[in-house]
Amino acid sequence: MSQARLILVAALAAAGLAIATTPTAGAAPQPAPSAPPVVEETPAAAHLPPEPRWPEYINGGTWPTSHVQGVVVDTENELVYWSFTQMFVKTDLAGNVIGTVEGLTGHLGDIDLNRRDGRVYGSLEYKAEEAFYIAVFDVAAIDRIGMDAETDGVLTTVHLAEVVEDFTADMDGDGVFDGDTGDTADHRYGCSGIDGVSFGPSFGDRWGGRQKLMVAYGVYSNTERTDNDHQVILEYDTRDWRRYERPLSQVDPHRSGPRSVEEKYFLHTGNTTYGVQNLEYDQHTGHWLLAVYPGVKEEFPNYPLFMVEGAERPERGEIVGQPEYEEGTLLSLLPRGLHDEATDVWGWDFDASYGLESLGDGYYYGARGRAVPDAGQEGEVHLHRWSGEPPNPFTPVAGSGEAR
């Protein structure tokens, strides 16, 4: 065959390939994936994220409070927000303090940024008053140190009646609510209040859909009961919450808030010590991350980190271990990481109980805290990248202070 004919044949073949792979006008589009891409636990080199654009380490300061309890990064405006249990702190990525909100007498827990309205939402408990709130911080207005939580107009609150009902439930029927203690049969599902919060799609939905606020229960540690072996997560649509918002009054707690939840989910992990401390939706993997203080029941593996399979649709089923048969909406653990065959519980060995922030690109901040003598508590975050390899799915980034 002549060289000219060879060139003609190659050209025709290339044209045919282009026609075969280019959609024709009016052709039905290919269906979109039904779930976000899931990063499988293959060797780390196969899924290395790009070089980080985030500081390897950020210090949130030392404050006369309890330990750091949550952290969230505003990636667009390059700001960091910190929960120090009785104080809210705003810094830049270098750790320079821009402002603080002080005077909280309750327990400020995990926090997350609502990217739709630009405000930060966090769990806020007043157990003695049987008041449980989502605190909403107007972070754009936080511009100086020492702003007051009640009088400076930067904080509103929404009351969660569902939490109160479970927290105050008289489960033993003796007509007496035993209060803030785990050494009791009271508290439905072992509810000790709320801690973990995060915005993300409904369980089973993909990223890009309507963002919901997920609120996780605290759960008392108690080895004598079996109805406290689930993590409980409430789902709320916050688009109309401004009608509920009220300024915080710590001497006269209000009760303005939704009377019901969009959905209530149950995840069987075994009992933990105070439930989900930090809840985080991870856009990179499409999964939900639940960081806990490990439980102490010997029959369970007591992992410090669990993952919920984001693309898996919840199913109705029995909430095992309850005093009477009860059905609920059940979540599924991601079947990756460490596995306990006896209980069929999956989990990971990574401590993120003080704070966990997914940056959306395969990088994460894990929070650490320490007591500083005569000064209070210091909080900081260290940068990690996703590896997906058990027992710990995160690899410290060199320079983060945690790389080995």
- Convert the pLDDT of each residue in 216-270 to its tens digit: 999 999 999 999 999 999 999 999 999 999 999 999 999 999 999 999 999 999 9
Taking the C-alpha atoms of residue 102 and residue 85, their distance in angstroms, rounded to an integer, is 10
Q: What percent of the chain has pLDDT over 70?
A: 86
What integer pLDDT is reported at residue 320 of this predicted model? Answer: 97
Q: Which residues contact 98 (CB under 8 A, 6 or more apart)?
A: 79, 90, 91, 92, 142, 143
Cβ-count burial of 373 within 10 angstroms (0-12 exposed, 13-18 middle, 19+ buried)?
exposed
**Residue 343, helix vs strand vs coil:** coil
Q: Kindly tell me if the per-residue pLDDT of 10 is higher than 60.
A: no
Q: Kindly tell me if the per-residue pLDDT of 392 is higher than 70.
A: yes
Q: Is cis: bond before 373, omega within 30 of 0? A: no
Taking the whole predicted model, whether its pTM rises above 0.75 is answered as: yes
Average pLDDT over residues 362-379: 96
Q: What percent of the chain has pLDDT over 90?
A: 83
Question: In terms of pLDDT, which residue wins out, 48 or 170?
Answer: 170
> What digits encode the pLDDT tens for the residues 339-363?
999 999 999 999 999 999 999 899 9
Cβ-count burial of 103 within 10 angstroms (0-12 exposed, 13-18 middle, 19+ buried)?
middle
Cβ-count burial of 329 within 10 angstroms (0-12 exposed, 13-18 middle, 19+ buried)?
middle
Q: Which residue matches tokens 């990217």?
A: 115
pLDDT-derived band at 52 (thresholds 50, 70, 90) equals confident
**Residue 65, helix vs strand vs coil:** coil
Average pLDDT over residues 316-323: 97
Q: What angle is formed at CA 39 by the lines to CA 38 and CA 41, rounded to 5 degrees? A: 130
Q: Kindly tell me if the per-residue pLDDT of 387 is higher than 80.
A: yes
pLDDT-derived band at 402 (thresholds 50, 70, 90) equals low
Q: Kindly tell me if the per-residue pLDDT of 33 is higher than 50.
A: no
What integer pLDDT is reported at residue 53 of this predicted model? Answer: 86
Q: Closest by alpha carbon to 83, among 135, 38, 154, 127?
A: 135
Question: In terms of pLDDT, which residue wins out, 265 or 2?
Answer: 265
Average pLDDT over residues 50-66: 92
Q: Kindly tell me if the per-residue pLDDT of 169 is higher than 70.
A: yes
Q: Kindly tell me if the per-residue pLDDT of 399 is higher than 70.
A: no
> What digits encode the pLDDT tens for the residues 287-297?
999 999 999 99
Q: Kindly tell me if the per-residue pLDDT of 40 is higher than 60.
A: no
Q: Kindly tell me if the per-residue pLDDT of 32 is higher than 60.
A: no
What integer pLDDT is reported at residue 50 of this predicted model? Answer: 72
Mean pLDDT computed over every residue of the chain: 89
Does residue 72 contact residue 80 with C-beta atoms inside 8 Å? yes
> What digits encode the pLDDT tens for the residues 173-218?
999 999 999 999 999 999 999 999 999 999 999 877 799 999 999 9
> What digits encode the pLDDT tens for the residues 270-285?
999 999 999 999 999 9
Average pLDDT over residues 75-94: 97
What integer pLDDT is reported at residue 48 of this predicted model? Answer: 62
Does residue 396 contact residue 363 with C-beta atoms inside 8 Å? no
Does residue 281 contact residue 290 with C-beta atoms inside 8 Å? no
What integer pLDDT is reported at residue 249 of this predicted model? Answer: 98
